[in-house]
Amino acid sequence: MEDAESRLPIREWAWSWLALTAALAIHVADEAAHDFLAVYNPNAAAIRSHLPWLPIPTFTFRTWLTLLAAAVVVLALLSILAFRAVFGLRLFAYFYAVVMILNGVAHSVSSLYTHRLMPGVLSSPLLIVCGAVLLSTTRGISSLKRQPL
């Protein structure tokens, strides 16, 4: 049986998972409130016209928001596995954290490049910080015993 001290890193990791998921929910709301698709869809169409083999989709607002809301719900539900320290989720946590950090950086860089606040840039620092914390806590539990599903 595990003692409370060995469970502490797992709890920190699980809470950092939830924090990143909350940051993503805030980021989706930020993008929705600032008309992200008005920027994304024309860029996706332009890229597709030059690289037709690249499967970059365009979205209606309803579809885009539904897909992102579903992703946030699934990620929140996966926190159950995080609190149980399921090994497979640890591997996915690296991917999740890196993608969210890159997302935050992309919004920030695009704002600097265009000299205007791009949709989603206000919540980007939150994605970057929470993603970095998840990376750090995931590394911190990497030596702990694997738990089956």
Is the per-residue pLDDT at 3 higher than 60?
Answer: no
Is the per-residue pLDDT at 5 higher than 70?
Answer: no
Closest CA to 90 of 17, 3, 4, 24: 17
How many CB atoms are located within 10 Å of the residue 119 CB?
20
pLDDT, tens digit, for every residue of 106-121? 999 999 999 999 999 9
pLDDT at position 93 is: 95
pLDDT at position 146 is: 55
Which tops the pLDDT comparison, 67 or 143? 67
Band of pLDDT at residue 1, cut at 50, 70 and 90: very low
* Start-end of H helices in the chain: 4-33, 36-50, 61-83, 87-114, 124-141
CB of 119 within 8 A of CB of 30?
yes
Tokens for 57, please give them.
């989709």
What is the average pLDDT score of the chain? 91
How many CB atoms are located within 10 Å of the residue 115 CB?
6
Q: Is the pTM of this model over 0.75?
A: yes
CB of 17 within 8 A of CB of 93?
yes
The residue ranges of every structural domain in the chain are 4-141
pLDDT at position 102 is: 98
Maximum pairwise Cα distance, the chain = 59
Tokens for 107, please give them.
């919004």
Is the per-residue pLDDT at 63 higher than 90?
Answer: yes
pLDDT, tens digit, for every residue of 18-52? 999 999 999 999 999 999 999 999 999 999 999 99
How many CB atoms are located within 10 Å of the residue 53 CB?
5
